[in-house]
Amino acid sequence: MNVAALLAKQPALSDKIISMSRPFTDDTEITFSPIYAWMLIGFGSFFFLLGLFVLTPWAKGGSLALGILIALVAAGGIAGGVIWLKHLPVVLRLTADELQVSGVTPVRWSEIERVDVQKLEIDGTPVHYVCIRLKNRRPVEGSLNRLFQAGRNALLGDYDIVLDEQKYSRPADWLAAECRKRLGQG
């Protein structure tokens, strides 16, 4: 059996072979942690059951209106949690062209000078940060932002963008490797 016949039978295999031969083009998106949406669903479920209990005759001083109100608000919380879970916001996006961090102007890979991983010990627990230095520094607006940047620079060094491994739910070494991989392409 030749390769063309094999690829005709398994189109998924042909897509993998074609994608491996193309240059690096995939985008990586890191979304907001789903734990908060699951907590909303959990608390909503608890209060829904509480509302149903208030409806029952076993509840001392139970009220039909109060039970219905609690159950409806809880059902709204559950529905909101499910919708939130389906539409988690993207907090970090690594494309072939630029690094997009929520709340920061996107940075083209050609503007990045260096990517390092720094470690801080907080109460004996090591916390790693991905530190990015830009070729051309961006001005910091606002005195409070300048104060925070000065404190961050005193702890981690003189970097323009700092990515916390805890905020993005990925190891700092992985984030730095992904940035360096794209930096080599940019």
pLDDT tens-digit profile of 118-156? Answer: 898 888 888 899 999 989 888 778 888 788 888 888 888
* Residues contacting residue 161 through CB under 8 Å, at least 6 positions apart: 99, 101, 104, 107, 131, 132, 134
Selected residue with higher pLDDT from 134 and 62: 134
User: What is the model's pLDDT at position 161?
Assistant: 86
Is 11 contained in some domain? no
Mean predicted lDDT score pLDDT of the chain = 82
pLDDT tens for 77-118 read 999 999 999 999 998 998 888 899 888 889 998 899 999 998
pLDDT tier for residue 12 given thresholds of 50, 70 and 90: very low
Is 3 contained in some domain? no
User: Does residue 63 share a domain with residue 97?
Assistant: no
Is 39 contained in some domain? yes
Query: pLDDT at residue 19 above 50?
Result: no
User: Does residue 109 share a domain with residue 80?
Assistant: no
User: Does residue 181 share a domain with residue 101?
Assistant: yes
Query: pLDDT at residue 20 above 70?
Result: no
User: What is the model's pLDDT at position 82?
Assistant: 97
Length of the chain: 186
Is 21 contained in some domain? no
Helix 35-55 and helix 64-86: axis angle, to 10°?
A: 160
What percent of the chain has pLDDT above 90? Answer: 26
pTM of the full structure = 0.66
User: Does residue 122 share a domain with residue 71?
Assistant: no
**DSSP H or E segment with residue 71:** helix 64-86
**Domain boundary residue, one of 86, 110, 126:** 86
What percent of the chain has pLDDT above 70? Answer: 85
User: What is the model's pLDDT at position 81?
Assistant: 96
User: Does residue 152 share a domain with residue 127?
Assistant: yes
Is 18 contained in some domain? no
Per the structure, how many domains does the chain have?
2
Residue range of the domain that includes 170: 91-185
User: What is the model's pLDDT at position 153?
Assistant: 80
User: What is the model's pLDDT at position 17?
Assistant: 41
User: What is the model's pLDDT at position 25?
Assistant: 58
User: Does residue 116 share a domain with residue 67?
Assistant: no
Is 144 contained in some domain? yes
**Domain boundary residue, one of 42, 64, 86:** 86
User: Does residue 180 share a domain with residue 121?
Assistant: yes
Distance CA 147, CA 15 (A): 50
- The b-or-e profile of 51-77 (16+ CB within 10 A means b, else e) is beebbeeeeeeeeeeebeebbeebeeb
**Domain boundary residue, one of 56, 86, 116:** 86
User: DSSP secondary-structure letter at 106?
Assistant: -
